[in-house]
Amino acid sequence: MKEMLTKQKTALDVEKIRKDFPILKREVYGKPLVYFDNAATSQKPHQVIDVISDYYQNYNANVHRGVHKLSEEATEAYESARKKVANFVNAGDSRQIVFVRNATEAINLVAYSWGRKNIKKGDEILLTEMEHHSNLVPWQILAKEIGAKLEFIPVDELGQLQITNFKSQISKRTKLVAVTHVSNVLGTVNPVKEIIRQIHELSTRNSSPAPKVLIDGAQSVPHMPVSIQNINPDFYVFTGHKMLGPTGIGVLYAKKELLEEMEPFLSGGEMIMEVTLEKSSWNYVPWKFEAGTPDIAGAVGLGAAVDYLSSLGMKNVRYHEKELTAYALETLEKVKNLVVYGPTDTEKRAGVISFNIVDDKGEVAIHPHDLASILDSVGIAVRSGHHCAQPLMKVLGIPAAARVSFYIYNTKEEIDKLSPAIEKAKKIFKV
């Protein structure tokens, strides 16, 4: 009876899930692995590992070229992965899904192919202070090259975007707004649907064309239900390896009319329609953007990851992580000299918690790198550093932070190991 009650309480059968992940059996320094670095990359279930090995063992061939059986099977698997991914994020027509290497490459593709053609000297690009470097650096380079200007939506002390006034930051020259769906440092879930709605409302009122909107979904798609058609962005990017898939496969969603007018990013084989010695014409979308032999195994693996997550239900995944996050926040709150950054309301926060140990003056007392090393010594894997978000660290007034981030296989029992490990670090560092 008691067991049934606990099972009802959590939305996922975590015990069963954990059995699917071979890596969770391993030990680190003789201690069971507690993997809390999921915002960096997730672990992979055998269902994903197996389909990749099955592809190489049974139907490895190049896609879209051969007429032979193996090539047919490989093409079918590759294209069916595209459809699975499109369904998973409710993207509509699967030809709006371009396979790339990762979210970073997807943003670079947009900056290169769309940005260079549509952003002119004196135009503006509106970003936020909480972007990952991947959604900042490509725009810095583009802006410098073209002579465009970058603007930033500020972050308040709770780690939330200050959007009450953001419309005043949009001018006639704003050609692009690029916002992360979930902060990789603070876990803040940004109201991207509302932001896009307001942008469109503003442009209707001013009868001027709306700036295009790019959403970085690297930290949202793995952890919560995402409907791209409902959010209605022009571009939406995410990566496979943070959502149980292999490394090397990422996704760019773009509205079809945009993909059609965009120039190719990389060129060569696969992306062409017809080639003469003088000139070439481009393949249909999305293949126009998939030059060269793609990561077929990666796509097939991502397809299996999406199947796995769908079988759990993304609402349940989100619910599980909310529970863990609330529990972890509660646990960390009890640790003296510990400060947590970001929103306290788990409705507005994903399963990401950044924190520091501070002294009585509020200064960082244990460098997060040292803290992470001590947690590592008891088998707890956390991230430490600036999390590829140096401007945000500056806003928070800290050089770095330690970060725990959760996923479907994490448990409250694992979270219980955090406080004693942190206390151990405090003892060593005499805080």
Partner 1 sequence: MIEDQLYRQAILEVAKNPKNRGEIERPDLEARLVNPLCGDEIKLQLKIQHPTSKIEEAMFSGNGCAISQASASLLAEYVVGKSIDEVEKVNSSDILELIGINPTPARLKCAFLSLDTLREALKDDAEGQG
Q: Which residues bind partner 1 (CB under 8 A)?
A: 29, 367-370, 373-374, 376-377, 384-386, 390, 393, 399-400, 424, 428-430
Centre a 10 Å sphere on the Cβ of residue 269 and count the other Cβ atoms it contains: 13
Do 295 and 101 touch, CB atoms closer than 8 A?
Answer: yes
Q: Cβ of residue 134: shortest distance to partner 1, in angstroms?
A: 14
Calculate the dihedral angle through the C-alpha atoms of 404, 410, 414, 418, rounding to the nearest 10 degrees: 10
Do 99 and 246 touch, CB atoms closer than 8 A?
Answer: no
Which of 312, 415, 409, 405 minimizes the C-alpha distance to 19?
409
Strand, coil or helix: 140: helix
Q: CB-based burial of residue 220 (10 Å sphere; 0-12 exposed, 13-18 middle, 19+ buried)?
A: buried
Q: Cβ of residue 397: shortest distance to partner 1, in angstroms?
A: 13
Residue 200 or residue 386: which is nearer to partner 1 going by CB?
386
Residue 3 or residue 360: which is nearer to partner 1 going by CB?
360
Q: Cβ of residue 40: shortest distance to partner 1, in angstroms?
A: 12
Q: Cβ of residue 342: shortest distance to partner 1, in angstroms?
A: 19
Centre a 10 Å sphere on the Cβ of residue 117 and count the other Cβ atoms it contains: 11
Residue 148 or residue 422: which is nearer to partner 1 going by CB?
422
Q: Cβ of residue 152: shortest distance to partner 1, in angstroms?
A: 20
Tokens 């999406």, located at residue: 306
Catalytic site residue from 388, 391, 395, 399: 388
Residue 64 or residue 367: which is nearer to partner 1 going by CB?
367
- CA–CA distance, 31 with 25 (Å, rounded to integer): 10
E strand or H helix that includes residue 403: strand 401-405
Which of 263, 279, 327, 251 minimizes the C-alpha distance to 84?
251
Q: Cβ of residue 196: shortest distance to partner 1, in angstroms?
A: 33
Residue 41 or residue 118: which is nearer to partner 1 going by CB?
41
Do 10 and 323 touch, CB atoms closer than 8 A?
Answer: yes
Tokens at residue 388, please? Answer: 């590829």
Tokens at residue 185, please? Answer: 């440092």
Tokens 């509302």, located at residue: 194
Q: Which residues pair with 32 in a beta bridge?
A: 27
Tokens at residue 308, please? Answer: 């796995």
* Measured CA distances, 206 to 22, 200, 214, 425 (Å): 56, 10, 21, 57
Residue 93 or residue 423: which is nearer to partner 1 going by CB?
423
Respond yes or no: is residue 365 known to be catalytic: no
The end-to-end CA distance of the chain, in Å, is 44
- DSSP string computed for 318-381: HHHHHHHHHHHHHHHHTSTTEEEES-S-GGGB-SEEEEEEE-TTS-EEE-HHHHHHHHHHTTEE
Q: Cβ of residue 385: shortest distance to partner 1, in angstroms?
A: 4
Q: Cβ of residue 193: shortest distance to partner 1, in angstroms?
A: 34
- CA–CA distance, 202 with 196 (Å, rounded to integer): 10
Residue 287 or residue 341: which is nearer to partner 1 going by CB?
341
Active-site positions read 388
